[in-house]
Structure 1
């Protein structure tokens, strides 16, 4: 059984710090970190079971002479190696540029191990005990030598994945979301917070949004492994992006209007104030507006004398205004 205690120290190198408030927050709780640790240890265990140790050969001092050893994977027999108290200290940097893109690189790495116990099949004896005693050093040396290069290789693959991420990421044909880091991750005792920009742009148009992001916080809840928090700013930029892209442009034809015949009769049954206002306006129209207009029309008014225009047998008919239904 291999017991591994990994101590990861974050060394943050920041080339540019963005001070704007985020539109999206992600929180990884202690429960989520514990689950990630279990998954990581299981993956590590599976990888170690598939690992083939290289051949070991060399000399070890014994008294006044040297003991030569040569262990090959082609040798027959079976042995069991127990390694306990393995400590891997890895310091890696996560620089963040002005655009919010981050990368990861291994700054330093050190591996130390505790006791190594080797058991060979068969009866124990002086030569067998003598042999296993001098196998501990080369196995320890191989462990220390190969651990950090493997970690460095894994960090390099992770960095390539980070660089290959598409930022902004298309949502559909009309909009894209910028989910790059707004600031460096904040590491606390019980959780890790990630502040993301959370800005939605029209597709291919990355001009600034008229909306301003306000600060907000994630409620302190530890029941879940992962929390996503969307601010009002995220939805404001989403609406503006789709509006700018023309998603809300609607053409209503005459055939469509017949399904939306809006009148005071329809709204009057929903909002009583509309019916009351209709009665008042109808009374004013019949008692004040129409009689006044008819009185002025009955007096007549001069027609404009157009230059070089002669009217032959003109006929003008005066029709008085009549009461109509208002608001229908």
Structure 2
């Protein structure tokens, strides 16, 4: 478990998120050296605690005519003064530990013909060098995989001090013991690494949510489609980054454009969310029927000083009052096509088309169609990250109206311009923003928290930067 803890914390940041669609990713994650340094710091602290529980097997052997046995080996101290995690091109990550120091205690027993002796000993291991290479990949389901591609441990110096009598006897076998202990420790370290990677780290990285359910109607596909790409400065991972309807997943009619993240290194991790990522959200919600909203009398703010009924329209649609006198009115707003947004240095903008169908609610609760309006306007978005989720809010400029159909005769739509502005700003927009404030989950491994958030806009993508905090269990 010891070496595994270092690797887990490393993987917790390095695999904190993962990779692409068929050609270009819709969502990109970059782990910088600062992120890997943090993982190293956290992992070393955990490793030093767990190495205190490392147990070595008893050793029985013969050196010349001396038979000896070492037992009850106990690790008293283990120091890792220098370590580093670095990305390796086309492989994954390398964990390097140098100048490590360990101290052990144990019991000894020797036999030379009729001479027998026993006592305790102290073992100091100095200048320990460990190198671990981790290969990162993905399985058929798009979940991350990790394996040990290389492990080497080298101990430069081992010193044994025996307590007890018969000092001349110790010298007959202490060099053999030092050599044996060196080989045993070197082998044990890499055995622990390999076992921990297979049994513990692999299980941990599988906590990456390659699909994230958002609500009852939609989800996000965060599956890896290729292994993370390592360079000398960072580790890049591209995800599919695609929203989909839970009821029916259809093929997106367009492809993501290439994403070229800037060479920022102030934060530990960066997320590149492309316009493709957000536009598939519009398609998913449209296909799921989630972009249909109704506005009724009970949604009108109390201070609006009007009632949503046919008398409200009598001044400019007199025939409406004659046909349906003093009857409640309901608007059903929907989008004929999925909204499409653009991302540029100035932010996120979209010009959605919304259709507003007005109905009179008859005494028997049936609906009588009145007129159909087309609404267009400039919409801007504010984006942030909170509790590991992308959150946002919309702001709508002046709405433009046009009459598409009417069962109550023609009329000048500008006469109800103010009314529609009030209805959308007081009823529709708050409902949309309430949903956006719930946010959409980022692809984070278990026990990863984000802080020090940075939000920037570039052509075709939104860049989110953050520092990482790994929360150990317990």
TM-score by length of 2: 0.46
CA separation of 1:50/1:97 partners in 2, compared to 1, >3 Å: closer, same or farther?
closer
Of stretches 207-216 and 255-264 in structure 1, the one that deviates more from structure 2 is 255-264
Contact 1:211-1:237 at 8 Å conserved across structures: no
Distance 2:210 2:266 in 1: 31
Aligned equivalent of 1:69? 68
| Gap change, CA 1:208 and 1:180, over 3 Å in 2 | same
Give 1 or 2: higher helix fraction: 1
> CA offset at residue 107 of structure 1?
4.4
1:41 alignment counterpart: 44
Q: Deviations over 1:137-175 (max 9, x none)?
A: 221121132222211211113223444655322122221
Paired residues for 1:43-192 under 5 Å: 43-60=46-63, 65-73=64-72, 75=107, 77=120, 79-90=122-133, 92-96=134-138, 100-120=142-162, 126-128=168-170, 131-157=173-199, 158-163=201-206, 165-192=208-235
Q: What is the rounded CA distance, in whole Å, between the counterparts of 1:56 and 1:20 in structure 2?
A: 56
Deviations 1:78-116 (A, max 9, x none): 6242231323354x5444456534423334544332222
The structure where strand makes up a greater share of residues is 2
From 199, 205, 209, the equivalent of 2:248 is 205
Q: Which residue of 1 aligns with 2:273?
A: 230
Contact between 1:18 and 1:183, CA under 8 Å: does it hold in 2? no
Tell me, yes or no, if the aligned pair for 2:60 and 2:69 is still in contact at 8 Å: yes
Written as runs of structure 1 = structure 2, the 5 A alignment for 1:310-325 is: none
- Segments of structure 1 that go 5 or more residues without pairing to the other structure are 1-5, 7-16, 265-269, 275-323
2:24 is matched with: 21
> Partner of 2:260 in structure 1?
217
Decide whether the 8 Å contact of 1:83 with 1:114 is kept in 2.
Answer: yes
Q: CA deviation at 1:249?
A: 1.0
TM-score w.r.t. length of structure 1 = 0.64
Q: Could you tell me how far apart the structure 1 residues matched to 2:248 and 2:212 are? A: 13
Asked which structure has the greater RCO (Cα within 8 Å, sep 6+), the reply is 1
The answer to whether the 8 A contact 1:24-1:228 is kept is yes
Paired with 2:208 and 2:32, the residues of 1 have a C-alpha distance of: 24
Specify whether residues 99 and 210 from structure 1 end up closer, same or farther in structure 2 by C-alpha distance, changes over 3 A only.
farther
* Higher mean displacement: 80-89 or 249-258: 249-258
Q: Deviations over 1:116-155 (max 9, x none)?
A: 2234568995545555433212211211322222112111
Q: Does the 8 Å contact 1:103/1:163 carry over to 2?
A: yes
Answer whether contact 2:228 2:237 (CA < 8 A) is retained.
Answer: yes
Secondary structure in 1 matching 2:295: coil
Cα distance in 2, alignment partners of residues 114 and 204 from structure 1: 62
Shift of 1:28: 0.9
The alpha-carbon deviation at position 237 of structure 1 amounts to: 0.9
Q: Which has the larger radius of gyration?
A: 1
Distance 1:123 1:33, change over 3 A: farther
- Matching residue of 1:294: none
Work out whether residues 118 and 132 of structure 1, in 8 Å CA contact, stay in contact via their aligned partners in 2.
yes
1:209-233: per-residue Cα shift (whole Å, max 9, x none)? 2242111222211111111121111
Q: 1:31 aligns with which of 34, 47, 54?
A: 34
Pairwise CA distance, 1:234: 1.0
